[in-house]
Amino acid sequence: MGTKINVRNPRTGKIDDSITPPTLEQLTEECNRLREAQIDWQQIGLEKRIEAMQAWKQALLSQQDQLIKAIVTDTGRLSESLTEFNSVISSIDRWCQLAPELLSELEAKSTAIPFIELQQESIPYQLVGVISPWNFPLLLSLIDTIPALLAGCSVIVKPSEITPRFIKPLRATIASVPKLCDVLAYIEGAGNTGAALIESVDLVCFTGSVATGRKVAEAAAKCFIPAFLELGGKDPAIVLSSTDLELATSAILWGSVVNAGQSCLSIERIYVAESIFEDFIEKLVAKAKCLDLAYPSLEEGQIGPIIAQRQAEIIAAHLKEAVEKGAIIHCGGKVEQLDGGWWCRPTVLTQVNHAMQVMRAETFGPIMPVMSFATIKEAIKLANDTIYGLSAAVFAGSEAEAIAVATNIDAGAISINDAGLTAMIHEAEKSSFKFSGMGGSRMGAAALKRFMRKKAFLIKQESIPDPWWFKS
Ligand code: NAD
């Protein structure tokens, strides 16, 4: 910690920035400051917290050009950066609207014992730690932060060291809101700073890979604090013979290659009924070929660069192994370097199987490996043959037919006749299955309650001996 870290530009490949993480003493001091301020933040009540969040929204809107510019430099892509910013703004409004009902005081209740009354109180965790990845740097650093702040917690956020440029303009917006800057802090740093942060907080929200998630879970267990983990995926799409192929190919293409496939909920495996396989491939390939790289200009095309150098290496390795084992490339197919950045065109592969990494491990690139299936039972077996269980998609001629298949898929959210809907629909509560995560749903209104502890007051109403006491 405390040592300078270089930052690479995803479009040029050049090291053109750096961050300096806090020392352990600085981190401890920051956490002490946030803890102290949390007491007042909790006591001022929800109405004042909503006021502060709304003031912050205005500050974000007034600084939106600087913020978006920084996210664009961090990620090398434009339209997804605008989407990130807009999502954060609507998320502040959504949580401000939902919070009053979610945090309303519960009424006193009678219990099964007539002379004992129950009153309940919800108490926010004092300091929440958020550790976030590089694929949607702004959005994923705030997705848990906003509800935690409204719940009355202080929050300390450590975004990815790969995309840290947005932190500076974001800090300026936080600094402009007096109450908020007391209870919200962003720190720069890599894995060791994240590890130190876990030891300083009362609850940790982590978004990232399964490998790091495991370390975070172990560290949180040692500290005896709750850990909410949102990890990787290898989402399958199943396409039944009754499907509208025009719709399915457009949805799957978007679900696989938006953000150049660098989304946890990207469609990474496609299983298509034998009878429609050829037609499906023909349509998918034709549509994939219509998409262009956002190169040389940011405003062109739809496919941005591969943001992290190490991800470009993983995508290239998965493609190489698949081809060596017999896969056929129909379009795209290589990770190329243009002006120092790494790029990959939408790639459709057939003749793939589950012995290949491209069907088993998270590729996190615009790669669409497609297999055919003979029976629905076989499709479900293939979809579930994975360590992941984040989300999935099922396409069929009727909702009932699709849901009959979706019921059997081990994943927390299934889009029916569409793809990637969990990114768009905030009302749906979902659990991560298998290694894709741990802890209560981040989506849905109940997500805010993850930041509260419950306290029960059990109140005796009458001056009588309890029947279970020792008889005198
Ligand atoms: P990563 O696991 O490498 O890093 C994530 C964060 O953890 C970074 O901030 C990193 O500095 C920090 N970190 C690293 N080691 C740590 C440690 N020992 N203790 C604490 N923190 C540590 O992930 P990444 O490569 O940045 O992101 C891509 C991954 O994130 C993919 O697997 C993707 O599927 C996943 N992801 C999941 C979701 C979801 O909601 N399920 C959303 C987006 C991304």
Domains within the chain, CATH numbers bracketed: 5-231+436-457 (3.40.605.10), 235-423 (3.40.309.10)
Our answer to whether residue 230 is catalytic in this structure is yes
413 lines ligand 1 (CB under 6 A): no
Interatomic CA distance for residues 197 and 464, integer angstroms: 50
Asked whether 409 and 236 are in contact (CB, 8 A), the reply is yes
Neighbours of 125 (CB within 10 A): 22
Of residues 80, 264, 268, 344, which has the active-site annotation?
264
Tens of pLDDT along 318-338? 999 999 999 999 999 999 999
208 lines ligand 1 (CB under 6 A): yes
412 lines ligand 1 (CB under 6 A): no
DSSP string, 184-221: EEE----HHHHHHHHTT-SEEEEES-HHHHHHHHHHHH
Q: Distance, CA 208 to ligand 1 centroid (Å)? A: 2
Ligand 1 pocket test, pick from 209, 309, 443 with the greatest ligand atom count within 8 Å of Cβ, gives: 209
- What residue has token string 């309890």? 466
Dig out the tokens for 373 from the structure: 């299936």
Our answer to whether residue 101 is catalytic in this structure is no
Q: Going residue by residue through the chain (472 aa), what tens digit of pLDDT does each one get?
A: 779 999 999 999 999 999 999 999 999 999 999 999 999 999 999 999 999 999 999 999 999 999 999 999 999 999 999 999 999 999 999 999 999 999 987 789 999 999 999 999 999 999 999 999 999 999 999 999 999 999 999 999 999 999 999 999 999 999 999 999 999 999 999 999 999 999 999 999 999 999 999 999 999 999 999 999 999 999 999 999 999 999 999 999 999 999 999 999 999 999 999 999 999 999 999 999 999 999 999 999 999 999 999 999 999 999 999 999 999 999 999 999 999 999 999 999 999 999 999 999 999 999 999 999 999 999 999 999 999 999 999 999 999 999 999 999 999 999 999 999 998 999 999 999 999 999 999 999 889 999 999 999 999 999 999 999 999 7
| Geometric angle at alpha carbon 119, from 113 and 122, rounded to 5° | 140
169 lines ligand 1 (CB under 6 A): no
Ligand 1 pocket test, pick from 135, 167, 222, 230 with the greatest ligand atom count within 8 Å of Cβ, gives: 135
Interatomic CA distance for residues 264 and 29, integer angstroms: 34
Asked whether 363 and 346 are in contact (CB, 8 A), the reply is no
Dig out the tokens for 469 from the structure: 């006491």
Q: Within 13 A of 305's CA, how many CA atoms are on the CB side? A: 28
> Going by CA atoms, what residue is nearest to atom 21 of ligand 1?
194
Ligand 1 pocket test, pick from 186, 234, 264, 434 with the greatest ligand atom count within 8 Å of Cβ, gives: 264
Claim: this prediction has a pTM higher than 0.95: yes
> Going by CA atoms, what residue is nearest to atom 9 of ligand 1?
160
Return left, alpha or beta for 259; rule: phi > 0 is left, psi -120 to 50 is alpha, else beta.
Answer: left
> Going by CA atoms, what residue is nearest to atom 43 of ligand 1?
264
Interatomic CA distance for residues 319 and 394, integer angstroms: 25
131 lines ligand 1 (CB under 6 A): yes
215 lines ligand 1 (CB under 6 A): yes
140 lines ligand 1 (CB under 6 A): yes
Q: H or E stretch including 399?
A: helix 399-406
Interatomic CA distance for residues 205 and 131, integer angstroms: 6
Query: How distant, in Å, are the alpha carbons of 194, 316, 345 from that of 1?
Result: 10, 32, 37
For the chain, the straight-line distance linking the first and the last C-alpha, in angstroms and rounded, comes to 64
Query: How distant, in Å, are the alpha carbons of 420, 452, 468 from that of 152?
Result: 31, 9, 39
271: Cβ contacts below 8 Å, ≥ 6 apart: 236, 237, 238, 239, 370, 371, 372, 373, 379, 382, 383
Neighbours of 29 (CB within 10 A): 12
Q: Distance, CA 310 to ligand 1 centroid (Å)? A: 13
Tens of pLDDT along 257-316? 999 999 999 999 999 999 999 999 999 999 999 999 999 999 999 999 999 999 999 999
